[in-house]
Amino acid sequence: MNKILISADSTCDLSPALRERYGFPIIPLYVNLGEQSFKDGEEMTPDQIYEYVAKNRSLPKTSAATLADYLAYFSRWVQEGYDVIHFNLSSEMSATHQNARLAAEEAGGNIYVVDSGNLSTGTALLMLDAWDLKEQGLEAGEIYEEILRRIPLVRASFVVDTLDYLRMGGRCSAVAALGANILKLHPRIYVADGKMGVGEKYRGAIDDVMVRYVEQMLRQNAGKIKTNRCFVTHTRCRPETVETVMETARRAGIFEEILETDAGCVITSHCGPGTLGILFEVTE
């Protein structure tokens, strides 16, 4: 049986510590500031995006890892004797998955490219599932088939503190953003069928909103939550807000492991600072 390598594009939002812990290599997408292009997580950080938006009052653009990027990336691992299971941001949100598939066909070897149907640590949950299956002794093809079955079982959502970034990105009107900010409305952004949608709009102080959001997500999925782990993923939230959410998740007594991560440049450029989500899987 060949060695198995599990990897992803940079939108999976795994922390450096978790990447090192599991040995997950990452291929970056690109963040474009005006005429300049930077590698996500390598040459560009969320803090730089905040600075750019504050100065220019416009959002950066993101673009896919190229076919050439992927061909070089996959060829390296195939030459080293690996079977590769590679995870991508939803194909509904980016051309990255298509580029990865085309490169995998050209690179040869055993490369299984997964359209996660998700983003951020919704993808990371599937990566860790793949790791667990690898540790159980499954071969790459078997892991790939099982992961495809689990994709619809991921529950990924975020609550947005301010609609400013969504307005600049054309995802809501200036009037809606102004009204939401005045009324202290915080929408829940969720992922379904590979696409982002808008769910409930919570009203009130952000710490209270985050607690209500987490409790609602856990209550709506009660009795079918996969208990091994969840992620709390956020963009420049106050430490007190993050700790309040972590404590709410701990107090629920559901998860064996609660992993906190900072969201990368893609989530940051779409949703802005103060965004936070709890992401987990269900069993049915």
Q: Where are the domains of the chain?
A: 3-29+64-152, 156-281
Q: Which two tokens stand for residue 263?
A: 């969201």
Q: Hey, which CATH number is domain 3-29+64-152, 1.10.1200.10, 3.40.50.10440, 1.10.10.10, 3.40.50.1000?
A: 3.40.50.10440
Question: Looking at the predicted structure, is the pLDDT value of residue 179 above 60?
Answer: no
- What is the pLDDT confidence band of residue 169, given thresholds at 50, 70 and 90? low
One-letter amino acid of 106: E
* Sequential DSSP letters for 61-86: EEEPPPHHHHHHHHHHHHHTTEEEEE
Alpha helices for the chain (secondary structure H): 16-22, 46-56, 67-79, 96-107, 121-135, 140-150, 164-168, 174-183, 206-220, 239-252, 265-271
pLDDT of residue 184: 67
Q: What is the CATH number of domain 156-281?
A: 3.30.1180.10
pLDDT of residue 113: 98
With H, G, I as helix, E, B as strand and everything else as coil, classify residue 278: strand
pLDDT tens-place string over residues 135-148 = 999 999 999 999 99
pLDDT of residue 161: 85
Domain 156-281 in the same topology as domain 3-29+64-152: no
Question: Looking at the predicted structure, is the pLDDT value of residue 158 above 80?
Answer: yes
Nearest Cα neighbor of 86 from 13, 18, 26, 138 is: 26
Share of the chain above pLDDT 70, in %: 93
Mean pLDDT of 242-255: 96
Instruction: Supply the mean pLDDT for the chain.
Output: 90
Cβ burial of 253 (10 Å; 0-12, 13-18, 19+) is: exposed
pLDDT tens-place string over residues 182-232 = 446 788 888 999 988 888 889 888 899 999 999 999 999 999 999 999 999
Only one residue has tokens 């599991």, namely 22
Distance CA 87, CA 104 (A): 12
Nearest Cα neighbor of 209 from 178, 244, 236, 174 is: 244
pLDDT of residue 167: 61
Contact 62, 269 (CB under 8 A): yes
Question: Looking at the predicted structure, is the pLDDT value of residue 75 above 50?
Answer: yes
Question: Looking at the predicted structure, is the pLDDT value of residue 180 above 70?
Answer: no
pLDDT of residue 162: 73
